[in-house]
Amino acid sequence: AGDVSEVRIAMTAAKTRQTLIAIGSGKGGVGKSTMTANLAIALARMGKRVGIIDADIYGPSQPTLLGTTEKPVAENDKLVPVEAKGVKLLSVGQLVSAGTALAWRGPMASGALNQLVEGQWGDAEIVLVDLPPGTGDVQLSLIQKARPAGAVIVSTPQDLSLIDATRAIDLFGKTSVPLLGLIENMAGYQCPHCGESSDPFGSGGAEASAAAAGIPFLGRLPLSASLREASDAGQPPAAGDGPAAEAFAALARRILQ
């Protein structure tokens, strides 16, 4: 992998092309999409012009997370991102009807994903790419096509998720995408009734894995029922005030550092 300082240079110097940051995970269900939506909003609240490419062909959830059902139009054969919660969005979910199982094979998936990458991103400065979970051919060709300036890995503290996260780290290493760091999601749970904290998925694992892989540990987000409810309702917590918005803002600052 390249040097993180190269990413910073790309972020400040890129005038002609958006700086793409891939958000990846080794497996599904770790909160990668939730993290992508909320980090994008947090970055937008910091004054950045932000876009999201929702390339998660297995579960494109960005339209739901950002509370939009609008479909993008094409101008000059290029898709124009829709605007939602202050962020530009192109999603695989906008190209197929809701509930359609995406049993796409390599070339078809890659063709659809290219349309998202080649959309009219205009003045967007940072575009987060919500990758499909895993480390297969679709991920590889998307990374080669989109050439992200950096990557962030999301994992839970659980052993299995961390083993998969290590594979994702390897994938970015092989494709020479600098790793900006690892975020631990669903880290710790505070009981809303008795207030006691517990660690349903273990604790400290992600930080140790990041250290072992030699990449920055960007921080952790606790397991939270209210975060899940707000996400399902298309009301990303990063757009509000409160501890979750603060946590996402802190993670967004670490990514830009």
Span near ligand ADP by CB under 6 A; candidates 21-29, 73-81, 86-94, 159-167? 21-29
H helix runs in the chain, sequence order: 4-13, 32-45, 62-65, 92-95, 106-117, 137-146, 159-174, 205-213, 225-232, 243-256
- Token look-up 């993008």 returns 72
Q: How many CB atoms lie within 10 A of CB 144?
A: 11
Nearer of residues 43 and 153 to ligand ADP, judged by Cβ: 153
What are the residues facing 247 on neighbouring strands? none
How near is the Cβ of 193 to ligand ADP at its closest, in Å? Answer: 17
Binders of ligand ADP among residues 167 to 186 (CB under 6 A) are: 185-186
Q: According to CB under 6 A, which one of 34, 62, 110, 166 is a site residue for ligand ADP?
A: 34
Asked if 108 and 69 touch (Cβ cutoff 8 Å), the reply is no
Residue 219 annotated as binding?
no
Residue 205 annotated as binding?
no
Q: Is residue 29 involved in binding ligand ADP (CB under 6 A)?
A: yes
Asked if 187 and 227 touch (Cβ cutoff 8 Å), the reply is no
Span near ligand ADP by CB under 6 A; candidates 31-39, 80-88, 176-184, 195-203? 31-39
Residues 6+ apart with CB under 8 A from 168: 24, 25, 26, 135, 153
Report which residue type is found at 11: M
Q: Is residue 61 involved in binding ligand ADP (CB under 6 A)?
A: yes
Measured distance CA(22)–CA(14) in Å, rounded: 16
Q: Is residue 66 involved in binding ligand ADP (CB under 6 A)?
A: no
How near is the Cβ of 18 to ligand ADP at its closest, in Å? Answer: 22
Q: Is residue 228 involved in binding ligand ADP (CB under 6 A)?
A: yes
Pairing of strands 87-91, 82-84: antiparallel
Q: According to CB under 6 A, which one of 32, 85, 88, 220 is a site residue for ligand ADP?
A: 32
Q: Collapse the DSSP code of 63 into the 3-class scheme (helix H, G, I; strand E, B; otherwise coil) and give the result.
A: helix
Q: According to CB under 6 A, which one of 18, 89, 231, 252 is a site residue for ligand ADP?
A: 231
Q: According to CB under 6 A, which one of 165, 223, 245, 252 is a site residue for ligand ADP?
A: 223
Q: Is residue 25 involved in binding ligand ADP (CB under 6 A)?
A: yes
How near is the Cβ of 227 to ligand ADP at its closest, in Å? Answer: 5
Angle at 56 between CA 54 and CA 59, to 5 degrees: 115
Span near ligand ADP by CB under 6 A; candidates 27-35, 75-83, 163-171, 249-257? 27-35
Residue 67 annotated as binding?
no
213's tokens: 């892989």
Positions in the binding site for ligand ADP (CB under 6 A): 25, 28-34, 59, 61, 133, 185-186, 221, 223-224, 227-228, 231
